[in-house]
Amino acid sequence: MFEHPFNFDPTYGYSKADLLKVGLPDAPKDFDTFWQDTFVQTQSVPLNIQKERDSITNADVDVFTISFNTLNNIHIGGWLVAPQNTQPTSGFVISHGYGGRTEPMLNFPISNAVALLPCAPGFHRSAHPDIPHTSQKHVIHHIKDRNTYIIRHSVASLWSAASALLELYPNIQNQLYFSGGSFGGGLGALALPWDTRFKKAHLSVPTFGHHPIRLQCPCNGSGEAVRLLHQENPEIAHTLQYFDAATAASHIHIPVLGSPALFDPSVPPPGQFAVCNALSNMHILSAGHFTYDAQVQEQKSLQQELTNWFTAS
């Protein structure tokens, strides 16, 4: 599809027709119970919200630093971006990719929206001495136990972000949305089935989909650390069953637009499509985590669809 420098095929031999047929992996019988219990535990943690105006200046929005607590009282930091001089009519929780988040984004799919942009546990404003801040180490942190695995706490941080946003802006409760890409897209798929407060969502090139396939696919993303660890410790496959974004996506009951890529050296496309095939709508991209000629035009088209997606009743 594209000329590339990788020593593996970022399509993994899957055609578009093949990708659209990727199904779901086997799931543990207590998958639902595990996540429902995690949600309840997270909701019982006092948020202790702290909010201060940030030094970032912008003519259209007010920017604040924000912090709150999540599961096991892990401290989460991030940014809150709100429209100036007007009450927002909708709200977003926006997760980030595995490169982390060093600054807030200031433009959103729809106008007059407030957005909470949390940093995942361990990253930047959520830095923690005991949690790695690089993707290759973060993705395997405490992976041998489903209860301590860092991805569980990363998902929980999104629920806590929603709670913080709704506490500050209760009027947006009927128009609370989620958006996340790559690492954030996978976290979103895992988070959305159990939190009925979200009304619509967008998941872009989502990771963590169909781990049995991912474990067979070399890549240059975080999945490679998991694949290599699995070769030495095959028992981690049991933990991964509980953190499969494709399994979770099949439990989502709200409208979600997925935008998977046909070619991706960082997040194997069959895993992305395993997630997105379970969603209500799809906008397919030519490539993810890769620069290509049509990229700007494709992203422009996707942004227009997102505006329509989140503004449609």
CATH number where 216 lies = 3.40.50.1820
Q: Mean pLDDT over residues 35-42, rounded?
A: 98
Q: What is the pTM of this model?
A: 0.97
User: For residue 4, what pLDDT is reported?
Assistant: 92
Judge whether 21 lies within some domain.
no
Residue 36 lies in a domain: no
- Whether the pLDDT of residue 183 is over 70: the answer is yes
* Chain centre to alpha carbon of residue 70: 16
The pLDDT confidence band at residue 312, using thresholds 50, 70 and 90, is confident
Q: Which amino acid is at 295?
A: Q
85 domain-assigned: yes
Residue 174 lies in a domain: yes
Distance, CA of 308 to CA of 302 (rounded, Å): 10
DSSP lists the bridge partners of residue 77 as 67
Give the model's pLDDT for residue 313.
65
The mean per-residue pLDDT over the stretch 235-260 comes to 98
234, part of any domain: yes
pLDDT above 90 covers a percentage of the chain that reads 93
Q: Which residues of 292-302 are buried (b: 16+ CB within 10 A; e: fewer)?
A: beeeeebeeeb
Q: Looking at the domain assignment, is residue 29 inside a domain?
A: no
Domain-located, residue 38: no
Confidence band (pLDDT; 50, 70, 90) for 60? confident
Q: Is 284 domain-assigned?
A: yes
How large is the average pLDDT for residues 112-130? 97
Domain count within the chain: 1
**Span 47-53, average pLDDT:** 97
The residue range of the domain holding 275 is 46-308
**pLDDT for position 181:** 97
